[in-house]
A and B are shown apart, each in its own frame.
Chain A
Amino acid sequence: MDKEQENRELEVKEESTQTGTEGETGKRPSGGSAFEGIYDMLPDISIRSLDRFILLCVIALVLVIVFGVLKANHVFG
């Protein structure tokens, strides 16, 4: 089980192990945006798969730049 999930579980357990909460402390709309807590709403992405994605994008970036330069120097058509 990933560390992040363990941490979250421990925290949640810590709070709920107490002899009952009095119900939510009045859920107020916090004026959220598409950004607020968007990172919470995403499905549980492991850091490892995120790393792979980042690496992929970086490679793509390098490739795009290289292609662009090569094309400019008429190495291709």
Chain B
Amino acid sequence: MSEYRLEMHNVVKTFPGVKALDGAQLNLRPGTVHALMGENGAGKSTLMKCMFGIYHMDEGEVIYEGEKVQIKGPLDALNRGIAMVHQELQPIPERSIGENIYVGRYPLKKLGPLTVIDHDKMYEDAARVLEEVHLNFDPKAKLGSLSVSQMQLVEIAKAVSADCKVLILDEPTSSLTAAEVEALFTIINELRSKGVSIVYISHKMDEILRISDEVTIMRDGQYIGTWSAKGLTTDFIITKMVGRELSELYPVRENVPGEVVFEVEDFTSINPKSFRHVTFQLKKGEILGVAGLVGAQRTELMEGLFGLRNHTDGRITYKGQEIKIAQPKDAINSGIAMLTEDRRATGILGVLSIADNVSIASLNQYLIGGFMLDDGKIEKLVQENVAKLSIKTPSSKTQIQSLSGGNQQKVLISRWLANSPDVFIMDEPTRGIDVGAKYEIYCIIAEMAKQGKSIIMISSEMSELIGMSDRIMVMCDGRVTGFIDGKEANQENIMALATQFE
């Protein structure tokens, strides 16, 4: 009998254009809390989905209780004793808590020739389950009557109720209050002592170090290693997750901010709930980070500045002159560029080639006789950028949508650089990009700043903001709540300003 309850070996899973899992593995002992860590895109969720049968593995095997198995789906997994609490809740708010707990596996009884749901038993069982996890809810109450964090606890109860042998928790505390997190940890400890194997996927270092026995780290779909949680430090984990020394996460920046080139005064959206009275200045060669919670209206503000959204009040002064921006073309003509948040939706021209994507915003520069496009010039531009930014692509005619996220982003950056903008707004520039490409993009940003361009960078990754910004502007609920100098910025003071609601 193996010492492991569940093993996954050499798992490979490929999607077009991306290898999501490359020899991943996981070995779970009974009665342990096993943390699974890695950056976004490392493959943690994909690996779990493979285990569950939601995805079909290209290669690899799952061994459960000593036997090789092929799990056909979540219900099959549940019947075998493997339960998962997902990161994205899929609750049915109109139905009762009890129904949500037992959805798909309602207790049944016979009513004459018919088989119907045994509601009494269901609510009885539900009440017991809720009690087991120390929750005080009425199982007959509608799920929608609970708060988001409470719903998450019910999800956890659901998984626990299945009397599982393996429990997977995917970011279980993302919506929980501190007290609720404690309650969760109590439950986890109880389950552990009962012999349950628990997989704990989370970004929160302190929680991981507190609750887990073992830690497995993944990076870019690959298995990096498993360590005992005793004696692990945050720095060690980050280094392994990211693949480079902490001190090398962000490039050395040699830019020196100069005089103010761009000023925004009292900028207000036509939508009263959106950004209002925004005032800030931007220096030449400066990287201004923009921090804030979801809903702080940072993207909306930048879209307003770029002419994608309407504003009522406010002045924009650029190089001493006031400019009016009503549509993107105005902004572009003034020397402003914008890398949008969702490159798939508003960035890349998917079916078009790389050459087309790079040149589209600057076609006026490649004309022969004033109207005919010079393909040779465009090709030269593309090759220059491919070299300068290390864009990996088979040819300039390749469709941009077949490139990886990082390379797509680089193509978009090239597009804007072709216009030699002075102000470059970037909204979540490294979102959905693997670790290696992230670093390359940071280097590109640093280089641009060094050359005197001003960068406005919206980011939701604290470490990125702190590591890359000369100054950080913090927004909360549509207002600018403060500025923090890059050298003094830390998680606490940024969060303090980000939560300064009126």
Contact = CB atoms under 8 A, between A and B. Distances in A.
Contact between A and B in the complex (any CB pair below 8 Å) = yes
Interface of A: 1, 3, 6-7, 10-11, 13-23, 25-26, 28
Mostly, the B contact residues are loop
B422 interface: no
Chain B interface extent, by class: 35 or more
Given A1-B54, A1-B56, A25-B346, A15 B294 contact: no
B66 interface: no
A1 B54 CA distance: 7
Nearest to B430: A18
B432 A18 contact: yes
A15 to B, nearest CB: 6
Given A18-B432, A23-B295, 16 more contacts: A1-B56, A6-B55, A13-B45, A14-B41, A14-B405, A15-B344, A16-B88, A17-B45, A18-B428, A20-B460, A21-B294, A22-B458, A23-B294, A25-B299, A25-B308, A28-B308
Given A7-B15, A7-B16, A15-B432, A22 B344 contact: no
B461 A19 contact: yes
B309 interface: yes
A8 to B, nearest CB: 10
A21 B41 contact: no
Contacts, number: 68
Contacts of A22: 294-300, 341, 458
A23 B302 CA distance: 13
A25 B461 contact: no
B342 interface: yes
A10 B342 contact: no
Nearest to B346: A25
A15 B15 contact: no
Interface of B: 15-16, 18, 20, 40-41, 45-46, 54-56, 87-88, 293-300, 303, 308-309, 340-342, 344-346, 405, 428, 431-432, 458, 460-461
A26 B87 CA distance: 26
Contacts of A28: 308
Contacts of B346: 25
Contact of A25 (B40, B303, B431): B303
Most buried by A among B294, B340, B458: B294
Contact of B460 (A10, A11, A14, A18): A18
A10 B344 CA distance: 13
The 3 closest A-B pairs by CB, nearest first: A20-B294, A22-B299, A19-B460
A26 B41 contact: no
A7 B55 CA distance: 10
Contacts of A26: 300, 303, 308-309
A6 B345 CA distance: 19
B312 to A, nearest CB: 16
A10 B44 CA distance: 12
A10 B308 CA distance: 29
Contacts of A15: 342, 344, 431-432
A11 B432 CA distance: 9
Contacts of A17: 40-41, 45, 87
B433 to A, nearest CB: 10
A16 B344 CA distance: 13
By CB atoms of chain B within 10 A, which of A1, A11, A20, A22 has the most? A22
A19 to B, nearest CB: 4
A75 to B, nearest CB: 48
Nearest to B433: A14
B463 to A, nearest CB: 11
Contact of B299 (A6, A7, A14, A23): A23
Contacts of A13: 45
Contacts of A20: 293-294, 460
17 contacts: A3-B15, A6-B15, A11-B344, A14-B40, A14-B432, A15-B432, A17-B40, A18-B428, A19-B460, A21-B294, A21-B342, A22-B295, A22-B300, A22-B341, A25-B342, A26-B308, A26-B309
